[in-house]
Amino acid sequence: MSERLRIMRGREWARPVRPARREVLGAAPELEEGRPPLLFVPGFGHGAWAFAEHWLEHAASRGFAAYALSLRGHGGSEPAPEATLRAYTHDVVQVAAGLPRQAVLVGHGAGALVVTHALARYPARAAVLVAPVLGGWSTAGVALRRNPVGTLPALFGGGLRLHRRQLFSGELPEADARRHVARLGRAGRRAQWQLLAGREAEPAVGRPPVLVLGSPDDRVVPPAALTRAARRYGSAPLLFPGMGHDLMLDARWREPIDAILDWLVKDPQRV
């Protein structure tokens, strides 16, 4: 099957995803150097605000136009309690297709799972999976062991609740941690179930380079899961010891975003 046919699916035409108002935040570099734009996709419960806190402006300061999307039902996007993984994927593809140049997709947490599905529809320049939650019942098992009170309701249609110690290291001031946790929302019930089902994404269009990074001290994604995710793309994970799951909000947030940008500029084919 050709890549064109894999992008243009009959099902997409027969049963289109319902349009939704989407929040997209952005930061532009002072000097346009023709580099590919970055599209950041937050994980479930997070919105574009999670990247607007630090990473958007920092990427722009290094010459990259940077955008962050709030998936439907998250952040400032339209409420969507019955959203599906397919709808989230549609959101990413639609926003990426509207950018001025072929984009680099950067997904965090369950947003990384959405990015892997978007890669089968959108020919990205490259992709980055940050602390990826790629689904499956093993994901639920880890969550139940580490956060039983917050995870159990999600198994019965409720919202998944993450606490401060899961998301951030002890280096982040308590006031900042509480402020971020207070902004967390919830994903659609159907999307949460689809995450647990762990349907693997189809091969990416054009086989773009993929970087996987995270922390060995992440209390959401264990090191073995990072290794499995990276092996799927023929590499090893880039690790940041001492950081929490929300690398973009933690105290040492500059380290992972600089590593991502360094990886992009290291190979001229990526920029």
Secondary structure in 3-state letters for 119-144: CCCCCCCEEEEECCCCCCHHHHHHHH
Rounded Cα gap, residues 253 and 130, in angstroms: 12
Who's near 24: CB < 8 A, 6+ residues apart?
Answer: 48, 67, 68, 69, 70, 95
Is residue 271 included in any domain, yes or no?
Answer: no
Q: Can you give the CATH number for the domain in which 22 is found?
A: 3.40.50.1820
Provide the pLDDT for residue 10.
Answer: 56
Provide the pLDDT for residue 85.
Answer: 93
pLDDT tops 80 at residue 4: no
Is residue 257 included in any domain, yes or no?
Answer: yes
Rounded Cα gap, residues 187 and 198, in angstroms: 16
Is residue 166 included in any domain, yes or no?
Answer: yes
Rounded Cα gap, residues 7 and 9, in angstroms: 6
pLDDT tops 70 at residue 11: no
Is residue 230 included in any domain, yes or no?
Answer: yes
Q: Are 204 and 120 in contact (CB under 8 A)?
A: yes
Provide the pLDDT for residue 8.
Answer: 53
Is residue 234 included in any domain, yes or no?
Answer: yes
Q: Which two tokens stand for residue 11?
A: 């099902």
What is the per-residue pLDDT across 249-267, written as a single tens digit (0 to 9) for each?
999 999 999 999 999 999 8
Provide the pLDDT for residue 149.
Answer: 45
Domain that holds residue 90: 3-266
Listing DSSP states for 185-234 in one string gives ----HHHHHHHHHTPPPPPPTT---EEEEE-TT-SSS-HHHHHHHHHHTT
Q: How many domains are there within the chain?
A: 1
Comparing 46-50, 119-123, 142-146, 245-249, the range with the smallest average pLDDT is: 142-146
Rounded Cα gap, residues 98 and 89, in angstroms: 14
Global pTM value: 0.89
188 or 115, which is more confident: 115
Q: Which two tokens stand for residue 137?
A: 């019942």
pLDDT band at residue 146 under the 50/70/90 scheme: low
Is residue 213 included in any domain, yes or no?
Answer: yes
Provide the pLDDT for residue 145.
Answer: 56
125 or 163, which is more confident: 125
Rama region for 234: left / alpha / beta (φ>0; ψ in -120 to 50; rest): left
Q: Which two tokens stand for residue 220?
A: 């959401």
**Mean pLDDT of all residues in the chain?**
87
pLDDT tops 50 at residue 3: no
228 or 138, which is more confident: 228
Provide the pLDDT for residue 74.
Answer: 95
> If you search the block for the tokens 């346009």, which residue do you land on?
32
Is residue 35 included in any domain, yes or no?
Answer: yes
Q: Are 216 and 239 in contact (CB under 8 A)?
A: yes
Q: Are 71 and 114 in contact (CB under 8 A)?
A: yes
Is residue 59 included in any domain, yes or no?
Answer: yes
